[in-house]
């Protein structure tokens, strides 16, 4: 049974808080395992990668087979069915078109003091793209990582994905080729993140790691942040659906299960104004859980982290959605726009009953690498900007230095930083010397 809540219950606040905690809690076992793997890769490099991959992905690698060769990639790509390649190209085109609009502009201007000011955007030198692959494979996540990196102009793009039991989905490798990835490593989990962050004999370290993954991947990214950049915490998937009673229970059930089937730690929540509709969705989920292929994973997710919350009105639903700050938010109501305008914490919104979240996972255009664990309160989905940095620019003329330099000297004195003030004073003194 999922959590069944109603805002009419006296103990609603406590039960709602417990629901939020059910996925937010940092798992001590995961943290300990990740710490051990990170330390081992740092100390032993390739040997630790090979050992961890044997343990977790059940394959025997060597330093020479950590990365796919070009011949291996081409041989796998030749096996991709035409319909899959066509669908992937359509997705890639739509994702590229969306992300091209995110390219930022440089700026420069001269202000009233005569100072020339501005900023310039630069692409990152080397990025590591994590593509999950433990219990499902994610060609779509290759595109969602690599296309924005390519649009940004990143110089070196490497990708890492686990190949459990030595198997890879050929579409993953086709997506990597289409999106311009330079190297693909057969590495997953915390060991892949460690290799990208610290570097080993065979894996060169990168400047930033992006991409989604399970709890081990998310914990490892959190740990290496600072040594390298990371995009965000993009862990086990989440969905909140706000639906009134005029929806098809089975459609909403499938939308909830579409995210529950990613991971037993995924979270799917229905918020509805109609208690009878909530019951119908619960029945529809139970029905579908009897037949869908990933029923074990989806069933565990729905049982442990799923919820149906009944509210008095859509205003109340909006407040709860903001508190949950979900990765995905579907608004299955007749007029989704005014409701959307009142919700501020969500990685991605899907407006109206004709927009299942799965469209956003594959072909909508917006990025599907999105913040989880309530981090949509302070972070956003992956974008071109995640692969760029901004450098500010300032150029003084003698006139500009005369106009604003004295204030800098005053502030330097106030901060007791004499050399700062003198560096300005020395130049101003030269400007005040009589011409020879
Ligand atoms: N938030 C997002 O944007 C987003 C997007 C796509 C997918 N996802 C999430 O990505 C995840 C994919 O998970 P997955 O497991 O299929 O693939 P994964 O690649 O994330 O994880 C597989 C790796 O986990 C490691 N691992 C598994 N059990 C371990 C253990 N006991 N100890 C140490 N390491 C262990 C192994 O190294 C394995 O290679 C799901 O949680 C899904 O919801 C999130
Ligand atoms: N829903 C996932 C993000 O949480 C992305 C994805 C990829 N493939 C299917 N779904
Ligand atoms: Zn999905």
Tens of each residue's pLDDT in the chain, 436 residues: 899 999 999 999 999 999 988 876 568 999 999 999 999 999 999 999 999 999 999 999 999 999 999 999 999 999 999 999 999 999 999 999 999 999 999 999 999 999 999 999 999 999 999 999 999 999 999 999 999 999 999 999 999 999 999 999 999 999 999 999 999 999 999 999 999 999 999 999 999 999 999 999 999 999 999 999 999 989 999 999 999 999 999 999 999 999 999 999 999 999 999 999 999 999 999 999 999 999 999 999 999 999 999 999 999 999 999 999 999 999 999 999 999 999 999 999 999 999 999 999 999 999 999 999 999 999 999 999 999 999 999 999 999 999 999 999 999 999 999 999 999 999 999 998 988 8
Is 191 annotated as contributing to ligand binding? yes
Residues 32, 38, 39, 40: what is their CA dihedral angle, to the nearest 10 degrees? 110
Cβ contacts of 436 within 8 Å, gap of 6 or more: none
**pLDDT the model gives residue 328:** 98
**pLDDT the model gives residue 336:** 98
Does the annotation count 248 as an active-site position? Answer: no
**pLDDT the model gives residue 151:** 98
Does the annotation count 328 as an active-site position? Answer: yes
Q: Packing angle between helix 82-100 and helix 170-178, nearest 10 degrees?
A: 40
Q: How far is CA 273 from the centre of its chain?
A: 31
Alpha-carbon distance 195 to 206, whole Å? 9
ipTM score above 0.90:
yes
Ligand 2, atom 7: closest residue by C-alpha: 361
Give the mutation target among 237, 298, 366, 372 for probing the ligand 2 site: most ligand atoms within 8 A of CB: 237
**pLDDT the model gives residue 26:** 66
Which ligand 1 atom lies nearest to the CA of residue 189?
37
Query: What are the Cα distances from residue 63, in Å, to 13, 46, 74, 185?
Result: 53, 6, 21, 11
Is 141 annotated as contributing to ligand binding? no
Alpha-carbon distance 220 to 40, whole Å? 13
Which ligand 2 atom lies nearest to the CA of residue 357?
1
Name residues contacting ligand 1 (CB within 6 A). Answer: 33, 56-57, 132-136, 141, 162, 188-190, 212-214, 216-217, 234-237, 262-263, 266, 327, 368-370, 372
> Which segments of the chain belong to CATH 3.40.50.1980?
3-26+236-377, 45-77+113-232
Alpha-carbon distance 370 to 373, whole Å? 10
Comparing C-alpha atoms, which of 62, 49, 67, 52 is closest to residue 181? 67
Ligand 1, atom 28: closest residue by C-alpha: 56
Query: What are the Cα distances from residue 36, in Å, to 181, 220, 275?
Result: 29, 10, 47
Question: Mind listing the pLDDT tens digit for each residue in 103-126?
Answer: 999 999 999 999 999 999 999 999
The CATH fold assigned to 3-26+236-377 is Rossmann fold (3.40.50)
Is 262 annotated as contributing to ligand binding? yes
Q: Which two tokens stand for residue 380?
A: 């956003």
Give the mutation target among 38, 40, 132 for probing the ligand 1 site: most ligand atoms within 8 A of CB: 132
CATH number of 45-77+113-232: 3.40.50.1980
238 CB near ligand 2 (under 6 Å): no
């Amino acid at each position: 049974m999922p959590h069944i809540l109603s805002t009419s219950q006296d103990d609603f606040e406590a039960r709602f808080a417990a629901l939020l905690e059910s996925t937010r809690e940092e798992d001590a076992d995961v943290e300990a395992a990740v710490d051990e793997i990170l330390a081992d890769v740092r100390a032993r490099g390739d040997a630790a990668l090979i050992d961890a991959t044997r343990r977790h992905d059940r394959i025997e690698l060597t330093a020479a087979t950590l990365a796919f060769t070009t011949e291996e990639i081409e041989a796998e790509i030749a096996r991709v069915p035409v319909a899959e390649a066509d669908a992937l190209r359509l997705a890639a085109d739509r994702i590229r078109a969306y992300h091209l609009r995110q390219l930022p502009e440089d700026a420069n201007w001269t202000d009233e003091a005569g100072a020339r000011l501005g900023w310039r955007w630069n692409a990152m030198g080397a990025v590591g793209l994590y593509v999950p692959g433990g219990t499902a494979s994610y060609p779509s996540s290759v595109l969602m990582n690599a296309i924005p990196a390519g649009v940004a102009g990143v110089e070196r793009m490497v990708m890492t994905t686990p190949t459990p039991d030595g198997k890879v989905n050929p579409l993953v490798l086709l997506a990597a080729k289409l999106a311009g990835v330079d190297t693909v490593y057969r590495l997953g989990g915390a060991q892949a993140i460690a290799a990208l962050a610290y570097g080993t004999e065979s894996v060169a370290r990168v400047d930033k790691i992006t991409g989604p993954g399970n709890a081990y991947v998310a914990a490892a990214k959190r740990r290496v942040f600072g040594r390298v950049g990371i995009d965000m915490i993009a862990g086990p998937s989440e969905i909140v659906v706000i639906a009134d009673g005029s929806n098809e229970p089975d459609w909403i059930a499938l939308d909830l299960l579409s995210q529950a089937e990613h991971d037993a730690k995924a979270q799917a929540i229905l918020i509805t104004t109609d208690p009878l509709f909530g019951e119908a969705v619960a029945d529809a989920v139970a029905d579908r859980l009897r037949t869908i292929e990933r029923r074990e994973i989806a069933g565990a997710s729905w049982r442990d982290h799923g919820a149906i919350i009944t509210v008095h009105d859509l205003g109340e639903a909006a407040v709860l959605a903001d508190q949950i700050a979900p990765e995905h938010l579907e608004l299955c109501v007749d007029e989704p726009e005014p409701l959307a305008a009142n919700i501020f914490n969500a990685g991605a919104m899907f407006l109206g009953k004709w927009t299942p979240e799965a469209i956003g996972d594959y072909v909508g255009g917006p990025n599907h690498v999105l913040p989880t664990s309530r981090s949509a309160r302070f972070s956003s989905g992956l974008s071109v900007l995640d692969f760029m940095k901004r450098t500010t620019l300032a150029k003084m003329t003698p006139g500009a230095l005369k106009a604003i330099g004295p204030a800098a000297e005053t502030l330097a004195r106030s901060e007791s930083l004499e050399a700062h003030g003198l560096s300005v004073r020395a130049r101003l003194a030269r400007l005040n010397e009589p011409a020879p």
